[in-house]
Amino acid sequence: MIEIRNLTKEYETTKGTVIGVDRVSLKIHSGEIFGIVGYSGAGKSSLLRCLNLLERPTAGQVLIGGVDLTALHKNQLRQARLKIGMIFQHFHLISSKTVYDNIAFSLKAAGKSKQEIEKKVIELLHLVGLADKKDVYPAQLSGGQKQRVGIARALANDPSVLLCDEATSALDPKTTKSILRLLKDINHELGITIVLITHEMEVVKEICDRMAVMQDGKIIEEGPVYELFANPREKLTQQFIESVLQFEIPKRVLEHRKGTIIKIQFQGSIAEESVVSDVFQKFRVQGNILHGKIEYIQETPLGIFVMELIGDAAEVRQAIAYITAKTKRLEVMYDAA
Ligand X SMILES: Nc1ncnc2c1ncn2[C@@H]1O[C@H](COP(=O)(O)OP(=O)(O)OP(=O)(O)O)[C@@H](O)[C@H]1O
Query: Which range in 40-48, 131-139, 294-302, 326-334 contacts ligand X by CB under 6 A?
Result: 40-48
Q: Is residue 115 a contact point for ligand X (CB under 6 A)?
A: no
User: Which residue of 20, 138, 150, 303 would you call a contact of ligand X, by CB under 6 A?
Assistant: 20
Q: Is residue 204 a contact point for ligand X (CB under 6 A)?
A: no
Q: Is residue 14 a contact point for ligand X (CB under 6 A)?
A: no
Taking the C-alpha atoms of residue 66 and residue 193, their distance in angstroms, rounded to an integer, is: 15
Indicate the angle between helix axes 99-109 and 143-155, nearest 10 degrees: 20
Q: Is residue 42 a contact point for ligand X (CB under 6 A)?
A: yes
Which residues between 223 and 262 bind ligand X (CB under 6 A)? none
274 CB burial (10 A radius; 0-12, 13-18, 19+): exposed
CB of 12 to ligand X, least distance (A): 8
Kind plus residue range of the DSSP H or E element containing 101: helix 99-109
CB of 56 to ligand X, least distance (A): 12
138-153-212-58 Cα dihedral, nearest 10 degrees = -100
- Rank residues 85 and 217 by Cβ distance to ligand X and give the closer one: 217
Residues in binding contact with ligand X, number by CB under 6 A: 12
Instruction: Please check whether residue 58 is in contact with residue 94, taking contact to mean a CB–CB distance below 8 angstroms.
Output: no
Q: Is residue 45 a contact point for ligand X (CB under 6 A)?
A: yes
Nearest to 92 by CA among 145, 34, 146, 40: 146
- Rank residues 18 and 71 by Cβ distance to ligand X and give the closer one: 18
User: Which residue of 35, 43, 57, 150 would you call a contact of ligand X, by CB under 6 A?
Assistant: 43
Q: Is residue 303 a contact point for ligand X (CB under 6 A)?
A: no
Please list, in sequence order, all residues whose beta carbon lies within 8 angstroms of the beta carbon of residue 114, skipping any fewer than 6 positions away.
none
Query: Which range in 26-34, 39-47, 250-258, 305-313 contacts ligand X by CB under 6 A?
Result: 39-47
CB of 45 to ligand X, least distance (A): 3
Amino acid at the residue 209: D
Amino acid at the residue 244: V
Strand order in the sheet with 161-165: 84-88, 161-165, 193-198, 33-37, 210-215, 218-224
- Rank residues 44 and 210 by Cβ distance to ligand X and give the closer one: 44
- Rank residues 16 and 111 by Cβ distance to ligand X and give the closer one: 16
CB of 278 to ligand X, least distance (A): 46
User: Which residue of 46, 147, 237, 267 would you call a contact of ligand X, by CB under 6 A?
Assistant: 46
Taking the C-alpha atoms of residue 325 and residue 192, their distance in angstroms, rounded to an integer, is: 41
- Rank residues 37 and 330 by Cβ distance to ligand X and give the closer one: 37
- Rank residues 55 and 295 by Cβ distance to ligand X and give the closer one: 55
Q: Is residue 167 a contact point for ligand X (CB under 6 A)?
A: no
Backbone angles phi, psi at 194, to 5 degrees: -115, 130
CB of 13 to ligand X, least distance (A): 5
Q: Is residue 35 a contact point for ligand X (CB under 6 A)?
A: no
Count other C-beta atoms under 10 Å from residue 99's C-beta. Answer: 27
Q: Is residue 17 a contact point for ligand X (CB under 6 A)?
A: no
Nearest to 88 by CA among 135, 150, 27: 150
Taking the C-alpha atoms of residue 118 and residue 71, their distance in angstroms, rounded to an integer, is: 34
- Rank residues 46 and 52 by Cβ distance to ligand X and give the closer one: 46
Taking the C-alpha atoms of residue 130 and residue 140, their distance in angstroms, rounded to an integer, is: 13
299 CB burial (10 A radius; 0-12, 13-18, 19+): exposed
- Rank residues 20 and 303 by Cβ distance to ligand X and give the closer one: 20
Backbone angles phi, psi at 6, to 5 degrees: 50, 50
Query: Which range in 44-52, 105-113, 125-133, 138-146 contacts ligand X by CB under 6 A?
Result: 44-52
Tell me which residues touch ligand X (CB under 6 A): 11, 13, 18, 20, 38, 40-46
